[in-house]
Structure 1
Amino acid sequence: MSDFSTVLLERSGPVSLVALNRPDALNAFDEHLRRDLAAALKQAHADPETRVIVLAAEGRAFCAGADLKAAKPGRDTQASLMNEYKPVMDAITKGPKPVIVAAQGACAGIGASLVMASDLAVMEEDSYLYLAFAAIGLIPDGGAHWMLLRAIGKKRAYEMIVSAGRLKAAEALEAGLANKVVAKGEARAAAMEWAATLAQGAPRTLRYAKSVLAAADDHSFDDSYAYEAALQGICANSQDNADAVKAFLKKEKPVFTGA
């Protein structure tokens, strides 16, 4: 679809694969990867043929975090987090299409945040989330505090942060930070297969369910109920819904077009 220096982007039918491609650096983030990943994800979301996005990585690790070797002296870290990393996280959390992460090996630092921010996650059995920030006198970033608090509670989150702790794939699954744990070497294939299955569903369902769940974090029950009802009204008036009801009554499989 497009060429980037540090990211692979390709589409297979209704599924776009976005893969971090700095394997020699364990896919650690430098300025090029920060720019390329945000752009590639935005392009996949904008592609009218794409219904589901799989976020994967080349090599033996999903992501080793920020590339400390590539860090420039005097760099404004706050500005970098807001202007370079935030667009990546926004493309995952605010983009209209579901993002499935396929993770192998280490998911460290911002790599752990990518996994936690995704809509769905498949991790290999030897994969783990690693917040190593305390070891170098930092705190987690990429929204890690917000996501950890909601997933494992204040005490476990604080312990993990200050002890530079790890969550193994099985523990991430138990905490609700992963959906599936598969054998080593199988995460990408499993995520692509899952994405292809989801892509057969109604595009509005995929998009609106993500939107309502995101809004529910910051809204009251009444506001969430009203937002949900408004989107349900749009779905109920769609051609997809009408066609699917007819298919259901005929005991046939519906074909969703997004109409």
Structure 2
Amino acid sequence: MSNFEKINYTLENHVATISLNSPKTMNAMSKQMRLELKQVIDTIEADKDARIVVIRAEGRGFSSGTDLTEGLAGFDTIEEQILQEYKPVLMGIAQSKKPYIASINGACAGIGAGLALACDLAIMSDDSFIYLAFAGLSFVPDGGMAHHLVSAMGYKKAYQAFLETARIKADECLQYGFVNKVVETSQLDQATKAWAEALAEGAPLAQRFGKEIMRGVHTSTVEETLDLEAKIQITCSTSKDSASAVNAFFKKEKPVFIGE
């Protein structure tokens, strides 16, 4: 994993940490960064030792969005670029069996915000903001941003924020549910690490299947959700982890999960 140029990667205490590492460009998402993100996401998905994934950034901002200096970076159209390089990264997170946490510092703009909001959970420093730069460049939202904005804010507020190229501050992000926690800037890395390591002690099967169920709620009926819950509960309730956890419960001990 040491051959990366635009990201850093570590794995410790079952927490896989991906750090965007192009601080001179405010972590603009270049072609190289996109390809490396896809590679590391695939690697993490296959690694049983990685239970929780953190995406963070080096430097003074999470991401300034697409690296506009590269143009289409070899593609004929921007549609091809999005579908072939961005979509695999974003869907890799959404469809992963593992929880992803975005740790957001500074500016989080454009499709960089799409990357952060694709994660299952998010923590943000109190001086950070999501910047909807799209309309100011005569672009529409991309990277799934329209979905995230409307789901959190409702259509009218989301469309207004898009039109006005809004900077959504940390306290507003918390209010709308874009993020789960807001902490002081100096505490962001420490708070992210503590949260991720605490979650890494949880039950991998419950985390995996709970994510699958909840990710599908908006496109399912209550009956469909109930049926899926019942079906998946067979796998969870008959697992080694469930038996061990029930036994630990009666003994008043802390369960240890192995993901089986």
**What is the TM-score when the length of structure 1 is the normalising length?**
0.97
**Cα drift, residue 75 of structure 1:** 4.4
2:149 is aligned to 148
User: Could you tell me how far apart the structure 1 residues matched to 2:224 and 2:56 are?
Assistant: 35
**Native 8 Å contact 1:104 1:185 kept in 2:** no
**Native 8 Å contact 1:30 1:71 kept in 2:** no
**Native 8 Å contact 1:109 1:133 kept in 2:** yes
* Gaps in structure 1 of 5+ consecutive residues: none
**Cα drift, residue 245 of structure 1:** 0.8
Secondary structure (helix, strand or coil) at the match of 2:254 reads: coil
**Cα drift, residue 72 of structure 1:** 4.2
| RMSD of equivalent CA atoms | 1.3
**Native 8 Å contact 1:99 1:118 kept in 2:** yes
1:71 is aligned to 71
1:198 is aligned to 199
User: Could you tell me how far apart the structure 1 residues matched to 2:78 and 2:199 are?
Assistant: 38
Secondary structure (helix, strand or coil) at the match of 1:186 reads: helix
* Gaps in structure 2 of 5+ consecutive residues: none
**Native 8 Å contact 1:42 1:95 kept in 2:** no
User: Could you tell me how far apart the structure 1 residues matched to 2:189 and 2:95 are?
Assistant: 23
Counterpart amino acid of residue 70 in structure 1: E
Counterpart amino acid of residue 132 in structure 2: L
**Cα drift, residue 159 of structure 1:** 0.3
**Cα drift, residue 64 of structure 1:** 0.3
User: Could you tell me how far apart the structure 1 residues matched to 2:30 and 2:20 are?
Assistant: 11
1:136 is aligned to 137
2:159 is aligned to 158
**Native 8 Å contact 1:3 1:9 kept in 2:** no
**Native 8 Å contact 2:9 2:16 kept in 1:** yes
**Cα drift, residue 9 of structure 1:** 1.0
Identical aligned pairs, as a percentage? 39
User: Could you tell me how far apart the structure 2 residues matched to 1:78 and 1:198 are?
Assistant: 36
**Cα drift, residue 45 of structure 1:** 1.9
Q: How many residue pairs were aligned?
A: 259
User: Could you tell me how far apart the structure 2 residues matched to 1:163 and 1:228 are?
Assistant: 41
Cα deviation digits, residues 1-47 of structure 1 (max 9, x gap): 44311111110120000111111100001110111111112211221
**Native 8 Å contact 1:53 1:100 kept in 2:** yes
Residue 9, structure 1, aligned to residue 9, structure 2 = yes
Q: Kindly report which structure 2 residues correspond to 1:222-233, keeping only aligned pairs within 5 A, or say none.
A: 222-233=223-234
Secondary structure (helix, strand or coil) at the match of 1:217 reads: helix
Counterpart amino acid of residue 203 in structure 1: P
2:108 is aligned to 107
| Residues 71, 51 of structure 1: alpha-carbon distance in 2 compared, 3 angstrom cutoff | same
**What is the TM-score when the length of structure 2 is the normalising length?**
0.96
Secondary structure (helix, strand or coil) at the match of 2:205 reads: helix
User: Could you tell me how far apart the structure 2 residues matched to 1:26 and 1:47 are?
Assistant: 29
| Residues 72, 116 of structure 1: alpha-carbon distance in 2 compared, 3 angstrom cutoff | closer
Counterpart amino acid of residue 154 in structure 1: Y
**Cα drift, residue 121 of structure 1:** 0.3
